[in-house]
């Protein structure tokens, strides 16, 4: 073969490959996903399995708009600056249709700001800060999980029943913990005006000096403790507090501590009697949850965590809005998100048009021990729709679009 013939063949081959890659791209809907996988592995490894299962099910049922669904996933390192850079890369280089994900509240807020600036739909999966849908809410950002305000509001009625006057508060000192603390103070004061906040401890996230924190709280002699600690910080606080008998005769309320990600590692050290929000996967018998749990266990040979639910439901939301909009046009997707209702393993949820917050609820109960492991007892499902502020209050908090 002479050089001219070889060049023609090479050019033809290159054109064919380009055409094939273009056709392949046209057959795929790409969604950009980012999360702090290395930083929060306990929650986000199950989360990733959850969204992988949902994608497999979507594609097995025929895909979306006649195309396969593809998630382009990146680790944002738990850093707002990195997250914005990655979001830009996903949108401009990877040509994703929209964005999903994030875990820490500060990262979620950074990506929400990016979504507003670039006019890109963003379904925030996990960041719990109230600001993402209220104070700093924007047209393009929607949030799946029940917020700090919502989950705190679910615990406050149980707290108010006890009529405890002297409260200690301990929280991780970043957006999530600050938001949870503000919500608790507001809601418990409204329910019980005579409460006193005798001490606050706000250790940096992941760097708690648990012994010193426990000593300081004990010295304040509270009747009750409200905590939004989670992960390793929670485990250290539980162990140091138990060593010092901090929790004897003191009622404790803790956001998230009933989630398997954070409860399971404590094993027989689980703090019996604490009121918590969480996920008693082993005892939920609704048809939608049973179908999800069976599929998850079959696929991964493991039981689901709350992260599994969040990852799965996030892709369910993404699929539902694409089906409803019938297009990948951003403005039509945003319009379709408002009032979007779809099923999840926890039941039906709706994204409220007034604030872009979903009505996904949470399980409320107490921690008990069974077979040397922590479990949730006396639990019930709190419907998120019942723990949200009024339309009038939302209008005061949320910037006009």
Average confidence (pLDDT) over 16-34: 67
pLDDT at residue 46 greater than cutoff 90: yes
Q: What confidence score (pLDDT) does residue 400 get?
A: 83
Instruction: Express each pLDDT in 229-280 by its tens digit.
Output: 999 999 999 999 999 999 999 999 999 999 999 999 999 999 999 999 999 9
Q: Give the Cα separation of 152 and 149 in Å (integer).
A: 5
Q: What confidence score (pLDDT) does residue 22 get?
A: 43
Within 162-305, residue ranges assigned H as helices are 175-191, 210-220, 231-243, 260-263, 287-300
Instruction: Express each pLDDT in 333-389 by its tens digit.
Output: 999 999 999 999 999 999 999 999 999 999 999 999 999 999 999 999 999 999 999
Q: What confidence score (pLDDT) does residue 4 get?
A: 52
Average confidence (pLDDT) over 23-49: 90
Q: Are 43 and 127 in contact (CB under 8 A)?
A: no
Average confidence (pLDDT) over 90-111: 97
Domain boundaries, the chain: 12-147+285-361, 149-283+363-387
For residue 18, what pLDDT band results from cuts at 50, 70 and 90? Answer: very low
pLDDT at residue 21 greater than cutoff 60: no
Average of per-residue pLDDT values in the chain = 94
Of 78-82, 163-167, 173-177, 330-334, the range with the lowest mean pLDDT is 173-177
Instruction: Express each pLDDT in 138-150 by its tens digit.
Output: 999 999 999 999 9
Q: What confidence score (pLDDT) does residue 315 get?
A: 98
Q: What confidence score (pLDDT) does residue 14 get?
A: 47
Average confidence (pLDDT) over 212-221: 98
The domain 12-147+285-361 is placed in CATH, from the list 3.30.70.1070, 3.40.50.2300, 3.30.450.40, 3.50.50.60, at 3.40.50.2300
pLDDT at residue 25 greater than cutoff 60: no
DSSP 9-39: HHHHHHHHHHHHHHHHHHTEEEEEEEE-TTT
- Give every CB contact of residue 248 below 8 A, 6+ residues apart in sequence: none
Go through the chain and tell me how many residues it has: 401
For residue 20, what pLDDT band results from cuts at 50, 70 and 90? Answer: very low
CATH architecture for segment(s) 149-283+363-387: 3-Layer(aba) Sandwich (3.40)
Q: What percent of the chain has pLDDT over 90?
A: 92
Token duo for residue 177: 């913990």
- Residue 330 CB-density burial (10 A; 0-12 exposed, 13-18 middle, 19+ buried): middle
For residue 401, what pLDDT band results from cuts at 50, 70 and 90? Answer: confident
The sign one gets for the Cα dihedral 366, 369, 370, 373 is: positive
Instruction: Express each pLDDT in 60-96 by its tens digit.
Output: 999 999 999 999 999 999 999 999 999 999 999 999 9
């Amino acid at each position: 073969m002479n050089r001219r013939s070889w060049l023609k063949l090479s050019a033809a081959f290159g054109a064919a490959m380009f055409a094939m890659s273009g056709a392949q791209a046209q057959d795929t809907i790409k969604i950009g996903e980012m999360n702090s996988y290395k930083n929060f592995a306990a929650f986000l490894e199950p989360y990733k399995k959850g969204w992988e299962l949902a994608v497999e099910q979507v594609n097995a049922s025929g895909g979306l708009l006649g195309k396969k669904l593809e998630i382009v996933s990146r680790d944002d390192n738990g850093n707002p600056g990195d997250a914005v850079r990655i979001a830009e890369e996903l949108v401009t280089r990877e040509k994703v249709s929209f964005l999903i994900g994030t875990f820490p509240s500060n990262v979620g807020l950074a990506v929400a700001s990016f979504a507003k600036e670039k006019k890109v739909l963003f379904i925030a999966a996990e960041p719990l800060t109230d600001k993402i849908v209220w104070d700093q809410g924007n047209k393009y950002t929607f949030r799946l999980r029940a917020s700090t305000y919502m989950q705190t509001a679910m615990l406050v009625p149980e707290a108010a029943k006890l009529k405890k006057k002297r409260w200690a508060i301990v929280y991780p000192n970043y957006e999530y913990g600050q938001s949870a603390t503000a919500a608790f103070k507001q809601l418990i004061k409204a329910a019980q005006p005579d409460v006193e906040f005798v001490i606050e401890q706000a250790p940096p996230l992941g760097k708690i000096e648990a012994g010193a924190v426990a000593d300081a709280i004990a010295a304040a002699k509270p009747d009750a403790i409200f905590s939004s600690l989670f992960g390793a910080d929670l485990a250290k606080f539980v162990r140091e507090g138990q060593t010092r008998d901090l929790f004897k005769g003191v009622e404790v309320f803790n956001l998230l501590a009933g989630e398997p990600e954070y409860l399971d590692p404590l094993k027989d050290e689980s703090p019996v009697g604490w009121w918590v929000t969480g996920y008693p996967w082993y005892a939920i018998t609704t048809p939608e949850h049973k179908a999800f749990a069976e599929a998850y266990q079959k696929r991964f040979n493991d039981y689901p965590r709350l992260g599994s639910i969040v990852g799965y439901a996030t892709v369910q939301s993404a699929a539902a809005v694409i089906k409803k909009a019938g297009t990948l046009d951003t403005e039509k997707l945003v319009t379709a998100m408002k009032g979007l209702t779809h099923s999840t393993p926890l039941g039906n949820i709706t994204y409220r048009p007034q604030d872009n917050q979903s009505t996904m609820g949470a399980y409320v109960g107490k921690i008990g021990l069974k077979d040397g492991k922590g479990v949730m007892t006396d639990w019930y499902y709190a419907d998120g729709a019942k723990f949200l502020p009024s339309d009038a209050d939302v209008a005061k908090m949320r910037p006009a679009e």
